[in-house]
Amino acid sequence: MDEKKWQAEKFEANRPHLRAVAYRMLGSRTEAEDAVQEAWLRLSRTDTSEIDNLGGWLTTVTARICLDWLRSRKSRREEPLTIRVPEPVVSHEAGNGTDPEQDALLADSVGLALLVVLEKLTPAERLAFVLHDMFDMPFDDIAPIVGRSTIATRQLASRARRRVQGVPPTAEADLARQRHLVDAFFTASRNGDMTALLTALDPDVVFRADAVAARMGALGEIRGSSAVAETFRGRAQGARLAVINGAVGAVVILGGQLRIALRLTIADDGGITGINAMADPEELRKLEVLLIDP
């Protein structure tokens, strides 16, 4: 068999595993696909005659690519108001060359709460945890990737594990509940559906905007579901769902920059009781934002 054809067949056989590794490392379907494609390019330039375990080699290469990207991402976070666009929940676009069913299974296997916690880990901690705890890779094989001793790599995974295990069991269910309600609210807002807007809002809901948001056209304070629903009817076209400081809300991004954050308060028994619009750059810099694709 032709060498290139053999490489392509072996790579395609490993692609689902590589995509799963990259998705858990990067939290983004798009970035995961890019990382896997980069692994293919490196394979195509490599003499495989001396590679004993091609699957292991590909996993290592993909992990190194993801680690480099995570480190680059961390350094870019020093730039003011620049935020990343991960995809904890995948979207399905016709004709994009991916399998929607497989994408859904991939997203469902990595809960939103877990992705939020993984975002808080250092790149090395995340890699050690993902490769060992999720894919059973031995620490002896992980250590060269992160440039640490086996003992130090074991400690990286242990620290990450404690962070992950510290997530309350109810966190995932609560985030799912919040996401469902917030998604329904902003969908109704874009569609101008007053009935759906009122359903999502608590009767005594309060909308507040900071001074910068007010200068952008928002009213300083609005009370009551009817008034708030009317304010949002036909609006929020550019709003995207996001986990903001651990709770589901929405953000507006222009030119890769976070411009507005909408932080929502949701009652335990359902219903949005508060919406705070933030546009002050200094306050926006303090937020931890993880975008969610619908």
pLDDT in tens, the chain (294 residues): 577 888 889 999 999 999 999 999 988 888 899 999 999 999 988 888 888 899 999 999 999 999 999 988 766 554 434 444 444 433 333 333 445 444 444 444 457 778 878 888 899 999 999 999 999 999 999 999 999 999 999 999 999 998 888 766 666 677 888 888 999 999 999 999 999 999 999 999 999 999 998 888 777 789 999 999 999 998 888 888 888 888 889 998 887 788 899 999 998 877 999 999 999 998 888 888 888 755
pLDDT, position 89: 37
pLDDT, position 101: 46
3-state SS, one letter per residue, for the chain: CCHHHHHHHHHHHHHHHHHHHHHHHHCCHHHHHHHHHHHHHHHHCCCHHHCCCHHHHHHHHHHHHHHHHHHHHHHHCCCCCECCCCCCCCCCCCCCCCCHHHHHHHHHCCCHHHHHHHHCCCHHHHHHHHHHHHCCCCHHHHHHHHCCCHHHHHHHHHHHHHHHHCCCCCHHHHHHHHHHHHHHHHHHHHHCCHHHHHHHEEEEEEEEECHHHHHCCCCCEEECHHHHHHHHCCCCCCEEEEEECCEEEEEEEECCEEEEEEEEEECCCCCEEEEEEECCHHHHCCCCEEECCC
pLDDT, position 1: 54
